[in-house]
Amino acid sequence: MPLIGALPQQLSSASPITSAPLVLFVYLVLILMLIAAMASVLLRNTLWAIGSFALSMALLALLYLTIAPLLLFAVQLVVYTTVSGGLLLGLLRLTSGLERPPISPFAHRWIVGGAVTAALGALLVLIAAATSWPMASTIQKGVLAVPYSFTRTLIDSYVVGLATLAVLIASAALGSALLLLAPALHSPRGGGERTGRR
């Protein structure tokens, strides 16, 4: 009986991506992702910072589309981009509220920037829909190199990990709920709600 993690599987290949359009796509996604990440750290307005954070995570998911199984792309998109962005926005709503940014989003330069971004995004979606690129390219050229089901591997080889993950998520949910339900403590710095324990 094979040990966990010692099941016969396809070994990784060392060949880099050489298809020119795909290489350009990877470079573009990486550069945009790093710019968005830096913007989310440097922006003073929390709402814009969360937006940049979600954008950088969505771009990372797009990168996973070219070098990782589809399930990881989906998890990255759902967990990091949607859940993380939603959690942070919910956190903002629960606390200080969604305040208006100091620079109005309807200022002229933001409208122009938004229009250009929307146009480029629409173009990318149009190309992807019309040509199935980059998925078709990666599969045709063997770049994806994952011929069997990633989900099956997870279920077969990482049962203990999945069970641990379930316990971890349940613990996090329970801990978050208990933290949020607990009465507010008195702050030595002043402020805060005074309805809780002293």
Partner 1 sequence: MTAGLNLMLVASAVLFAVGAFAVVARRSAIGMLMGTQFMFAAGALAFVAFARFGRGGAPVDAGPAIAFFVAITAAAELAIGSAMTVVLYRASRAFFLDSDGG
Residue 99 Cβ vs partner 1, minimum distance, rounded to whole Å: 13
From the list 74-82, 103-111, 114-122, 125-133, the region that binds partner 1 by CB under 8 A is: 74-82
84 binds partner 1 (CB under 8 A): yes
Q: What are phi and psi of 91, to 5 degrees?
A: -60, -40
103 binds partner 1 (CB under 8 A): no
CA torsion 20-25-27-30 (nearest 10°) is -160
| Contact residue for partner 1 among 111, 185, 197, 198 (CB under 8 A) | 185
* Residue 67 binds to partner 1 (criterion: CB under 8 A): yes
Helix axes 46-67, 85-94, angle to 10 degrees: 170
What is the closest distance, in whole angstroms, from the C-beta atom of residue 139 to partner 1 in the complex?
14
DSSP secondary structure letters along 146-175: --S-HHHHHHHH-HHHHHHHHHHHHHHHHH
What is the distance between the alpha carbons of residues 14 and 61, in angstroms, rounded to a whole number?
22
| Per CB under 8 A, 71 contacts partner 1 | yes
Which range, of 60-68, 100-108, 109-117, 128-136, touches partner 1 by CB under 8 A? 60-68
* Interaction pattern, residues 142-171, with partner 1; x per rule: CB under 8 A: ---xx---x--xx--xx--x---x--xx-x
Q: Does 95 bind partner 1 (CB under 8 A)?
A: yes
To the nearest whole angstrom, how small is the minimum distance from the Cβ of residue 173 to partner 1? 7
Q: Which residue shows structure tokens 């990372």?
A: 60
Query: Which residue number, 1 or 14, has a Cβ lying nearer to partner 1?
Result: 14
Q: Does 3 bind partner 1 (CB under 8 A)?
A: no
116 binds partner 1 (CB under 8 A): no
Residues 119, 142: Cα–Cα separation, whole Å = 31
Contact 55, 6 (CB under 8 A): no
Comparison of 89 and 128: residue with beta carbon closer to partner 1: 89
CA angle, corner 67, sides to 64 and 71, nearest 5?
Answer: 55
| x/- letters, 13..42, toward partner 1 (CB under 8 A) | xxxxxx-x-xx--xx--x--xx--xx-xx-
Own/partner long-range contacts of 41-49 (Cβ < 8 Å, ≥24 apart): 45/101, 45/102, 46/92, 46/96, 47/89, 47/92, 47/98, 47/99, 47/101, 48/101
